[in-house]
Amino acid sequence: MNTRTLAMAVLAMLVVGCSSADAAREQRVKIAVTEKGFVPAVVTVQSGRPVTLLVTRRTDRTCATELVLKTHGIHEKLPLGKTVVIRFTPERPGTLDYACGMGMIKGKIVVR
């Protein structure tokens, strides 16, 4: 194997290794929008690790047709019956408040 081929092989292994490490660190949280609001209304995640929210709106009987997480500049529409993937990384411990677009239906992400 020549030097260039060896270097490419090593680089490919590093990229795959990083992707696997990031995937292992990822925190996946499922949230449903029901007639009761965001369920669960409070979730806990670790700071410094990527978070993926999987949000599915299951009702059209509330005003929660979007999710707004102002601290991270997130404003996502929530189409009925479809899972919306929202990714962010909380950098420090604390509580992140999110809500529907009108601010009436709320939830919390506790970051430890």
According to DSSP, residue 82 is labeled -
Domains in the chain with CATH codes: 26-111 (2.60.40.420)
Could you identify the residue written with the tokens 């430890």?
112
Q: Are strands 106-111 and 42-45 parallel, antiparallel or unpaired?
A: parallel
Termini Cα distance of the chain = 48
What global pTM score does this model have? 0.77
Q: Which of 107, 103, 63 is nearest to 86 (CA)?
A: 107
Q: pLDDT of 64-79, one tens digit each?
A: 999 999 999 999 999 9
Q: pLDDT of 89-105, one tens digit each?
A: 999 999 999 999 999 99
Quote the tokens at residue 73: 């500049």
